[in-house]
Amino acid sequence: MAELHDLSAMQLRNLLRSGTVSAADAAAHFLARIGQQNPRLGAFITVTGDQAMEQARAADARYSRALDSDLPLLHGMPLAFKDLTDVAGVVTTHGSAALEHKPAPSDAPLVSLFKDAGVIPLGKTQVPEFGLTAYSENRIAPPSRNPHAPSRSSGGSSGGSAAAVAAGLLPFAPGTDGGGSVRIPAAACGLVGLKPGRGLVLAGESAGDPARLVAPGPLARSAEDAALMMDALAPGNGYLQALRQEPSRLRIGVTLDSPWSGTFPFTPDAEALDALRAGKALLEHAGHVLADAAIRYDNRYPDAFTTAWTAGVGTARISPTREALLAPLTRTFRRRAQQRSPAKLAEALAFLRQFQHDTVAQYGQWDLMLMPALAQTPRPVGWFTGTGHGSERWPAAQWPGDADGDYRKQCEFAPWSSMVNVCGLPAITIPVYWTGGTPGSGLPMGIQLVGPMGSEVLLLQVAHQIGY
């Protein structure tokens, strides 16, 4: 029998439901795996082993009294949550040294949703400060590293969760995506990452998100595992069952156009274009029709998106005496957000609504849109901040302060992510290419498919159809 961490989430779920593996055995196995691997990867900030084992034993006791039809969908499945999400009795750090780290009094709605589905939380995973960046490095814990190349970043802001899934520390994990925070780390770590459309999973929405950018979604090793999680996130839509059907022939528009190009001109790495070619070949072999699509984006987008994206950090409750503990990027964008007038934010939000209308109309000429997932290979740890350290953590006084250079690097790294959140559309990243030539060798690179509202099933079907 394969090791539990080598099984797909679907296989493990079935063993737990059949009683072949107990929830306690599964939790103990993954906790041991975390103990072995996390010092090298920095995927977890907090591990809640005692709490997990207590909950797993309680799940086993319920199993002994339940009929199979009464078991929750994810009975006994080990899981972890980003350290932006409250889990009752566990500290939520938000990746920030500027906050007091106190245990959360109650579960966030997303955690309640998964607990009702039967999961066993094992801890909290590494995030950037307040989830603001495309890399998961902060001042309170070691950086999250890419299991395929530990000198490289696992992406962000769901970087710790992605590293944990890719390294077999978890069977799958939920992330939250407000500007690419599921899709970027999924692409960096060689996973399938799905961002559902706006409003599908209400449990993951945030009060500090005036543009309604954030959506929770699965980080998984396959479309099937992602569909299993979607059946918990959005019950009643039959994602797993739908994978039995092949999608009809689709018209897919291929584009490298980005709304960031005017402000931050960039050239995609050769590896990004290799991944795009590999994705095109797989989709054409599956019978879909691909053609180039020219998309025109309004050049006012970068300023408006940044205004909306950073509004929440401007209102975060941080003691003035602790603001110096913020990372330079957070501190800079917090100050700018506080200096903006309410009218400036309202103007940005109005522009983004018009941008959504115009962009969705252009995408609507196609069944799906195809583009690279990332413009560059996964970046070295410390590359965005200019530390280049790769060490465990940097004292606050030594962290360089080029917030604008950091932000520009992120936008050039992931130029096809945030506009999908602004438009509220579903999107999936698929790891179709590896720089070493074979799956699992070298660094992963992926493609992104963007669909119309309500196309989550279709995106999962296409990913499954081409072998993922």
Q: What is the mean pLDDT of residues 150-169?
A: 98
Nearest Cα residue to 413 out of 369, 456, 383: 383
Given the residues 144, 161, 181, 222, the one annotated as active site: 181
- Whole-angstrom Cα distance, residue 347 to residue 266? 28
Summarised one tens digit per residue, pLDDT across range 58-78 is 999 998 887 767 899 999 999
Amino acid at 109: P
Which pLDDT band, with edges at 50, 70 and 90, does 387 fall under? confident
Q: Of all residues in the chain, what percent carry a pLDDT higher than 90?
A: 92
- Whole-angstrom Cα distance, residue 157 to residue 270? 25
β strands within 352-443, DSSP E: 368-372, 427-434
Summarised one tens digit per residue, pLDDT across range 421-435 is 999 999 999 999 999
For residues 118 and 52, the answer to whether their CB atoms sit within 8 Å is no
User: Catalytic site residue 82?
Assistant: yes
User: Is the pLDDT at 394 greater than 60, yes or no?
Assistant: no
> What is the phi/psi pair of residue 223, to 5°?
-65, -35
Given the residues 96, 144, 153, 157, the one annotated as active site: 157
The predicted model scores a pTM of 0.96
For residues 154 and 209, the answer to whether their CB atoms sit within 8 Å is no
Summarised one tens digit per residue, pLDDT across range 239-274 is 999 999 999 999 999 999 999 999 999 999 999 999
Given the residues 22, 82, 96, 195, the one annotated as active site: 82
- Whole-angstrom Cα distance, residue 86 to residue 112? 10
- Whole-angstrom Cα distance, residue 158 to residue 414? 14
Which pLDDT band, with edges at 50, 70 and 90, does 399 fall under? low
For residues 139 and 327, the answer to whether their CB atoms sit within 8 Å is yes
Q: What is the mean pLDDT of residues 341-349?
A: 97
Residue 64 vs residue 88, higher pLDDT = 88
Q: Which domain holds residue 81?
A: 4-465
Q: Number of structural domains, the chain? A: 1
User: Catalytic site residue 157?
Assistant: yes
Nearest Cα residue to 120 out of 70, 65, 47, 18: 47
Q: pLDDT value at position 153? A: 98
- Whole-angstrom Cα distance, residue 58 to residue 53? 9
User: Catalytic site residue 181?
Assistant: yes
- Whole-angstrom Cα distance, residue 235 to residue 201? 10
User: Is the pLDDT at 321 greater than 50, yes or no?
Assistant: yes
Q: pLDDT value at position 1? A: 60
For residue 439, give the CATH number of its domain: 3.90.1300.10
